[in-house]
Amino acid sequence: DAKTTQPNSMESNEEEPVHLPCNHSTISGTDYIHWYRQLPSQGPEYVIHGLTSNVNNRMASLAIAEDRKSSTLILHRATLRDAAVYYCILRYWSGGGADGLTFGKGTHLIIQP
Partner 1 sequence: NAGVTQTPKFQVLKTGQSMTLQCAQDMNHEYMSWYRQDPGMGLRLIHYSVGAGITDQGEVPNGYNVSRSTTEDFPLRLLSAAPSQTSVYFCASSYAGPGGGYTFGSGTRLTVV
Binding-site ranges for partner 1 (CB under 8 A): 30, 32, 34, 36, 42-47, 49, 87, 91-93, 98-106
Query: Could you tell me the smallest distance in angstroms from the CB atom of residue 86 to partner 1?
Result: 11
Task: Tell me how far CA of residue 75 lies from CA of 37, 50, 105, in angstroms.
Answer: 12, 16, 20
Query: Of the two residues 21 and 44, which places its CB atom closer to partner 1 in the complex?
Result: 44
Q: What share of the chain is helix, strand, coil (3-state, %, to 5)?
A: 5, 45, 50
Query: Could you tell me the smallest distance in angstroms from the CB atom of residue 93 to partner 1?
Result: 3
Query: Of the two residues 96 and 113, which places its CB atom closer to partner 1 in the complex?
Result: 96
- What does the alpha-carbon distance between residue 97 and residue 95 come to, in Å, rounded to a whole number? 6
Nearest 5°: phi and psi at 33?
-95, 120
Query: Could you tell me the smallest distance in angstroms from the CB atom of residue 33 to partner 1?
Result: 10
